[in-house]
Amino acid sequence: MGACSSPRIAHRETAAFQYDDAWIASDHSFALEPALTVSRAPHYAGEARRMFGALGDSAPDRWGQTLLRRAERRQAKAENRAPRALREVDFLFGVTDSVRQGALRLALSEGGPFVAPEGPAGVPPPRRAPGAARRI
């Protein structure tokens, strides 16, 4: 469908998206959202947003972001390093593919495996959520 990147421009996180040529040529192509018209030109999220709505809708809500920040702090402690400040793209890719909201699937490279972190770094799948809630 296309490629999204998350560049920093003037110390500000933003998103860039460009449709794949095969998607543009397809009779079945459509715009992911009104701001992402189907064209070869790259699209930028702009000053007011860090991510496009159609992509950001797949990211976790505030509670999911809290879980990912906690996982990052635990991982950093285990690796004896300072925790990273998580960016919007980290939240987007930090959700297990099987519980991600929306119709989009994400991969780090074209044709690569879909991103599906399991284990302590990702948001727990529903079958583990009750046990996690009891530990909180």
**What confidence tens digit (pLDDT) does each residue in 43-81 have?**
988 776 778 888 888 888 898 899 899 989 999 999 999
Q: State how far the Cα of 5 lies from the Cα of 92, in Å rounded to an integer.
A: 12
Give the pLDDT score at 6. 78
Nearest CA to 89 out of 55, 64, 120 is that of 55
pTM of the model: 0.68
Q: What share of the chain is helix, strand, coil (3-state, %, to 5)?
A: 30, 10, 55
Q: Would you place residue 106 in the very low, low, confident or very high pLDDT band (cuts 50, 70, 90)? A: confident
Give the pLDDT score at 129. 56
CA 99 and chain centroid, separation: 13
- Other beta carbons less than 10 A from residue 36's beta carbon: 20
Q: State how far the Cα of 53 lies from the Cα of 15, in Å rounded to an integer.
A: 11
**Host H or E run for residue 43:** strand 43-44
What percent of the chain is modeled with pLDDT above 70?
81
Give the pLDDT score at 66. 92
Between 85 and 113, the higher pLDDT residue: 85
What percent of the chain is modeled with pLDDT above 90?
26
Give the pLDDT score at 76. 95
Strand partners, 114: 107
Mean pLDDT of 123-133: 58
Nearest CA to 17 out of 41, 49, 48 is that of 41
**Host H or E run for residue 4:** strand 2-5
Q: Is 104 exposed, middle or buried (0-12, 13-18, 19+ CB in 10 A)?
A: middle
Q: State how far the Cα of 13 lies from the Cα of 2, in Å rounded to an integer.
A: 20
Tell me the pLDDT tens digit for each residue of 108-118. Answer: 777 777 776 55
